[in-house]
Amino acid sequence: MKNTALTDIHVKAGAKMVPFAGYNMPVQYTGINAEHETVRKAVGVFDVSHMGEFILKGENALDLIQRVTSNDASKLYDGKVQYSCLPNENGGIVDDLLVYRIDEKTYMLVVNASNIEKDWNWISKYNTKGVDMKNISDRTSLLAIQGPKAAEALQTLTEVDLVSMEYYTFKKGTFAGVDNVLISATGYTGAGGFEIYFENQYAEQIWDAIFKAGEPFGIKPIGLGARDTLRLEMGFCLYGNDIDDNTSPLEAGLGWVTKFNKEFTNAEALQAQKQAGVNRKLVGFEMIDRGIPRHDYVIVDADGNTIGKVTSGTQSPSLQKAIGMGYVDTAFAKEGTEIYISIRDNKIKAQIVKPPFYKAL
């Protein structure tokens, strides 16, 4: 089991630690609902140093990224981030990822913790033109500071103007006295905020500085439990739950990051699928009857026929109702359609809704 550079701090803070993607990670500190509310209303800090980071450098770096990712990375400019996915050769997804353009010949890919080795091997297989690839995952720490008060809480720590940063852009600068910190206005919570990347040796210094600066704003450490409820309220996919090696990006509603103006892995088959139409779709749903949907629960129609499967589900802390995502036959994917979740052999009524479930005021 791997530790992050901040594991000891989490343990001292009373976090409940669990194995996650091969790492010893904090799932909660004071409780998932309270931590969830902190991020929605104030500011919270997630240690997400388990994520993977690859640097791709050289004349052919963009060419390699274009061939292995579904989105069009030629649209990136220095300081811009793009959400994308790595299609496999069978119509599924190797992983979803973020692509950072540092300069014309240098890119950083941020991948899911559970897929670091798999993604590295996959991209390496297509690296036929001598792109310099470095896996910097083990020496890189990553904190996500999320919530409406994030910019205000962090601004004293950096000269980078945080308030003016546009969504899905990044800047490099000094942060908490540490040079060359990458500050990114991305997020997985829908609450606004930043993700900051830096070398492991500065982890405790930066963590302590963030909590000192954020104290007047009610800053708290947040575990992976609340990260999951927050992302689900936004309808964001989680690899291994909502997307995997057997789900097409088009089925998953990721057509917007699947661009057919270039050649990429399995592009021809995916384009044919787009023209023919998909047989199933990833949808959001809210429970009408009482019950909490869970991963792998069966979805049925009014007659009890199986029409799909739940991929993610929870009791939404913000909405005070149960919500979920899952794949259903396309005929049942329309907004407003009534479906049923099979919970302990009972048909529990739900309704298809369009994510995000939570809409900030």
For residue range 196-222, what is the model confidence (pLDDT) as tens digits? 999 999 999 999 999 999 999 999 999
State residue 127's pLDDT score. 98
Q: In 10 A of CB 244, how many CB atoms?
A: 17
Q: Residue 332: pLDDT band by 50, 70, 90 thresholds?
A: very high
Q: pTM to 2 decimals?
A: 0.97
3-state DSSP assignment of residue 158: strand
Helices 116-126 & 61-68 angle (0-180, nearest 10): 110
State residue 101's pLDDT score. 98
Tokens of 304: 């009890």
State residue 34's pLDDT score. 98
Q: Is the pLDDT of residue 243 over 70?
A: yes
Residues 267 and 274: beta-carbon distance below 8 Å: no
In whole angstroms, give the CA distance from residue 35 to residue 53: 27
Residue 135's beta-bridge partner residues? 54
Cα separations in angstroms, 70 against 82, 97, 210, 293: 11, 10, 36, 31
- Write the pLDDT tens digit of every residue in 78-97: 999 999 999 999 999 999 99
Residues 60 and 129: beta-carbon distance below 8 Å: yes
- Write the pLDDT tens digit of every residue in 124-161: 999 999 999 999 999 999 999 999 999 999 999 999 99
Is 195 within any annotated ligand binding site?
yes
Q: Is the pLDDT of residue 293 over 80?
A: yes
User: Mean per-residue pLDDT for 64-72?
Assistant: 98
Q: Residue 66: pLDDT band by 50, 70, 90 thresholds?
A: very high
Percent of the chain clearing pLDDT 70 (strictly above): 100
Cα separations in angstroms, 206 against 26, 149, 195, 227, 312: 18, 18, 13, 21, 33
State residue 360's pLDDT score. 76
Q: Is the pLDDT of residue 361 over 70?
A: no
- Write the pLDDT tens digit of every residue in 97-110: 999 999 999 999 99
In whole angstroms, give the CA distance from residue 211 to residue 238: 28
Among the listed residues 224, 110, 123, the one whose alpha carbon sits nearest the alpha carbon of residue 168: 110
State residue 175's pLDDT score. 98
